[in-house]
Amino acid sequence: MAKKKTIDFKKYIQWFWGIILSGVSFIVLIFLFASWGLLGVLPTFEELENPENNLATEVISSDGKTLGKYATENRTPIKFKDLPQNIVNALVATEDERFYEHSGIDFRGTTRAVLKPGSGGASTITQQLAKMLFTGRASRNIFLRIGQKVKEWVVATKLERQYTKQEIIAMYLNKYDFLNQAVGIRSAARIYFGKEPKVLKIEESAMLVGMLKNSSYFNPLRRAKEVKQRRNVVLKQMNRNGFISLKEKDSLQQLGLGLDVHKEGHSDGYATYFRSHLQKVMRKWVRKNPKPNGEQYNIFRDGLKIYVTVDSRMQQYAEEAIQEHMSNLQSYFFKEQKNNETAPFYDLEKPDIDRILERGKKNSDRYKRLKSIGKSKKEINTIFNTKTKMRVFSWRGPVDTIMSPNDSIKYYKYFLRSGLLSIEPQSGHIKAWVGGIDNKYFKYDAVAQQKRQVGSTFKPFVYATAINQLKLSPCDEYPNTPYTIPKGKYGIPEEWNPRNSNDKYGGMLSLKDGLAGSVNTMSARLIDMVSPKNVARLAKSAGIESKFRANPSIALGAVDLSLLEMVGAYATFANKGLRVSPMILTRIEDKNGTVLEEFTPRTKEVLSEESAYVVLDLLKGVTQSGSGVRLRLPWEKPKYVTGYPYEFSNPIAGKTGTTQNQSDGWFIGIVPNLATGVWTGGEDRSTHFEGIAKGQGATMSLPSWALFMKKCYADKTLNISLEDFEKPENLTINIDCGNIKSEEDEDIKEVIPEEDTDF
């Protein structure tokens, strides 16, 4: 009988433990190699303390609202305390149920994922954060992926040692890209629901957490059905983990997404033109104010907080006012152009029109782009004459159409443009800035960039000079007769004898009547009494920075200035003759809240308090019976004047302005604590209304001012003054002139007094 072969179990046991120990040793070595950086660079302790982020710079209004951001990534980090508990619950329930139990790696989840593929991911919230912060996208190569996973584990354990669980949750939600320019939870809450994260509802938080699975796929603006299904999965997980009841889950799953989209691109939201101007200001600021280490601040990445003077409420009212009036006014302009053979231009021959359109083509982004890639003139012309799909502006909303680029250039020439600026005279703070009708389609800023002829709105500087130098009274009278300044005087090449716009002369006229009726001969007489140089000197002292020749014609506004200059200068009258330079910044902070600079206004005395008050009294006459009287009385409403009747009863100092051929319409109105100006016109001076009724400042710009002010007065939190201007003590100049007798009074119920249009 053969002997049984003895099995040497000891050998197998040695092999078994050898394999186990080798495996463990290999894993330990892999982790050691990873921690030593042999599998790729790992973050240093300092980098863990301050992980690299692209942080959006935030523009914050005077009333504490975010007006917009400058960002490579639209990310504004928030702290854990600013998160609602429901979003924390939704995140833990869906992404990492044992988050509070592990130290960065969920070995139980990892084992389940290995033994049972498809049972769910094994990455913890901390690992996902490590991946986003330091390790990047996973490689398709299996070996590289394993190495990358090991690095994630190493970084995750470091993060767990370095940060609290609450800090890790906040970092994760601050880092994630929720698409549509929503990087981080705060941007996502603002963009998708128009609110701060703290006030998110349970179902809103669940939707955002659902996007964490794959925001490219679960995009609420493209796949609402799939996003809702994913949100309901999150709600189910919240119920499963005891964060909400079954009844709550069932009820919330029936709700729609409830989106309230507020995009935060550079051309979205409020104050878009202001933010574009501010960006230019900040570029200059960062060059002059480096970091402590000598590097330059990056406004798109360094998370600065820029506190500005603009009030978000007033900004909203200003933009609404411009939109309401301009959409209405534009409809009448379109109707008029149907009978215009050279539409949208007047007074031009075909060669002149061709030059305007060619200039528009060469100024377009499309032309510059084609030129930069080396396209020939012939190729560019072919492209500009070829019809293509494009989205164009309309007051009913963007329109998808097919037209050639050349046709689109002419199409945009039809649109009237407008700008509004509002300044607090006592502080110089700019409270509202509307640079145009739509920043996506019309980039040129009508507040600071554009300079247009100002017409009669310049006349108050002539009157102010005469009052300040000669102590004239609003009651002083002069003959209403043609007035001539001879050739050679003030260096003019020929004699200058401006006509009144209505060709009416005769009798005596007071200064108050003269300004209320915008009488040209009175302005000519006054500028000759004080000299053009002195008028120019006062205007520049009040804030007019543009260069212009000091000749007699400036008395009628034959000078190109910006809305910013004009409103800033008018504010001087409301501030008792003291010029306060307009300002847009109050302070700048870094991402940690350290104040980098605080800004204070610059002041300058321009004219006496008495003279400033007398000028205001003259300007009040304009709105009592002059060209601004439309603000007062409820006459029959012209359909092209939006929001009429206005029926203001409080004291308002103001002046309209209309330039030659109705190319520009102005209105600047002042109450004691607010000076606001509006300009309206075409991109080209040859784009205008044919007649004065629709083309004057009282029709084109005054309505926007009136709508804006009515909205401001309706908001009692703004405290816009309804009082009269403060009268100086011991006023020596007589201002009690009785009734104003504007030369247009006899026909005023039918037609608002016309502005001077002849220079």
pLDDT for 306-342, tens place per residue? 999 999 999 999 999 999 999 999 999 999 999 999 9
Mean pLDDT of 65-74: 85
| Spatial separation of the C-alpha atoms in residues 676 and 118, rounded to whole Å | 65
pLDDT for residue 202 = 96
Helix (H/G/I), strand (E/B), else coil: 397: coil
CB atoms within 10 A of CB 337: 18
124-133, 236-245, 351-360: least confident range: 124-133
**If we measure between CA atoms, which residue out of 68, 73, 70 comes closest to residue 54?**
73
pLDDT value of residue 152: 72
Q: In this structure, is the dihedral angle defined by the CA atoms of residues 121, 126, 127 and 129, taken in order, positive or negative?
A: positive
- Model confidence band, residue 269 (pLDDT cutoffs 50, 70, 90): confident
Minimum mean pLDDT range among 67-71, 276-280, 329-333: 67-71
Q: Which of 346-350, 540-544, 637-641 has the lowest mean pLDDT?
A: 637-641
Residues 43, 41: Cα–Cα separation, whole Å: 7
Specify the length of the chain in residues.
759
Asked whether the beta carbons of 659 and 679 are under 8 A apart, the reply is no
Residue 365 phi/psi, 5-degree rounding, is: -65, -35
348-352, 417-421, 643-647: least confidently modelled range: 643-647
What is the average per-residue pLDDT within 156-183? 87
Is the pLDDT at 249 greater than 50? The verdict is yes
Show the tokens assigned to 612: 């400033």
* pLDDT at 625 > cutoff 90: no
How far CA 605 is from CA of 138, 247, 475, 566, in Å, comes to: 66, 70, 26, 17
Band the pLDDT of 52: cuts 50, 70, 90: low
**pLDDT given for residue 10 in this prediction:** 67
Mean of pLDDT values over 143-149: 54
Tokens of 514: 């003269």
CATH number, span 417-747? 3.40.710.10
- If phi > 0 it is left, if psi is from -120 to 50 it is alpha, else beta; for residue 199 that is alpha
To the nearest whole number, what is the mean pLDDT of the chain? 87
Least confident of 160-169, 226-235, 746-755: 746-755
Residue given tokens 């799939």 in the structure block: 226
Q: Which has the higher per-residue pLDDT, 270 or 40?
A: 270
Asked whether the predicted pLDDT for residue 428 surpasses 80, the reply is yes
Q: Which CATH number fits domain 75-263: 1.10.3810.10, 3.30.300.30, 3.30.450.20, 3.50.50.60?
A: 1.10.3810.10
pLDDT confidence of residue 115 = 45
Name residues whose C-beta falls within 8 Å of residue 371's C-beta, 6 or more positions apart in sequence: 380
More confident residue, 128 or 613: 613
C-alpha gyration radius of the chain: 34
The whole-number pLDDT of residue 15 equals 66
The answer to whether 333 and 343 are in contact (CB under 8 A) is no
Q: Which residues of 484-522 are buried (b: 16+ CB within 10 A; e: fewer)?
A: ebeeeebebeeebebebbeeeeeeebbbbbbbbbbbbbb
Mean pLDDT over residues 672-701, rounded? 96
Q: Is the pLDDT of residue 2 over 60?
A: no
Residue 673 has pLDDT above 70, yes or no: yes
**Per-residue pLDDT, 33:** 47
Give the 3-state secondary structure of 15-40: HHHHHHHHHHHHHHHHHHHHHHCCCC
Nearest alpha carbon to residue 188 among 201, 171, 176 = 176
Confidence of residue 757 (pLDDT cuts 50, 70, 90): very low
- In angstroms, what CA-CA distances link 697 with 124, 329, 479, 631? 65, 12, 27, 13
Distance CA 158, CA 285 (A): 38
DSSP 135: I
Helix (H) or strand (E) holding 129: helix 125-130
pLDDT confidence of residue 594:
95
The candidate with the shortest Cα–Cα distance to 621, out of 481, 737, 726, is: 737
736 vs 289, which has greater pLDDT? 289
Distance between CA atoms of residues 360 and 369, nearest Å: 14
Look at 175-184, 355-364, 645-654 and tell me which has the smallest mean pLDDT.
175-184
CATH 3.40.710.10 residue ranges of the chain are 417-747
pLDDT confidence tier of residue 119, bands split at 50, 70 and 90: very low
Helices and strands (H, E) in the chain, number of each type: 26, 18
Question: Is residue 143 over pLDDT 60?
Answer: no
Return the number of other C-beta atoms located less than 10 Å from residue 77's C-beta: 19
Least Cα distance to 662 among 346, 337, 412 occurs for: 346
Residue 57, phi then psi, degrees to nearest 5: -85, 135
Structure tokens at 360: 């528009």
Q: What are the angstrom distances between the C-alpha of 458 and each of 44, 117, 322, 470?
A: 64, 79, 23, 19
Of the listed ranges 180-189, 386-395, 531-540, the least confidently predicted one is 180-189
The answer to whether the CB of 153 falls within 8 A of the CB of 110 is no
DSSP per position, 600-665: ---EEE-S-HHHHHHHHHHHHHHHHHSTTGGGT---PPPTTSTT------S--EEEEEE-GGG-EE
pLDDT digits (tens, 9 = 90+) for 462-505: 999 999 999 999 999 999 999 999 999 999 999 999 998 777 88
Q: Which has the higher per-residue pLDDT, 745 or 562?
A: 562
Cα–Cα nearest to 404, from 388, 393, 381, 382: 388
Cα torsion 465, 470, 473, 476: sign: negative
Residue 85 CA to residue 95 CA, distance in Å, equals: 15
- How far, in Å, CA of 583 to CA of 277, rounded? 12
Residue 430 has what DSSP assignment? E
User: Percent of the chain beyond pLDDT 70?
Assistant: 84
Regarding pTM above 0.75, the answer is: yes
Q: Locate CATH 1.10.3810.10 in the chain.
A: 75-263
What are the structure tokens assigned to 715, written together?
A: 């908001």
Query: Residue 755's pLDDT is what?
Result: 46
Which of 17-31, 255-269, 427-441 shows the lowest per-residue confidence on average (mean pLDDT)? Answer: 17-31
63 close to 311: Cβ distance less than 8 angstroms: yes
Residues 6+ apart with CB under 8 A from 168: 125, 126, 129, 159, 160
Structure tokens at 450: 């554009």
Report whether 259 contacts 208 (CB < 8 A): no
Distance CA 32, CA 157 (A): 13
Give the list of residues 6+ apart from residue 237 with CB closer than 8 angstroms, or none.
90, 93, 94
- Ranking 588-602, 656-670, 731-745 by mean pLDDT, the lowest is 731-745
pLDDT mean over 609-620: 96
Instruction: For 537-592, write each residue's pLDDT tens digit.
Output: 999 999 999 999 999 999 999 999 999 999 999 999 999 999 999 999 999 999 99
* CA–CA separation, 227 and 748 (whole Å): 62
Question: What is the reported pLDDT for 8?
Answer: 61
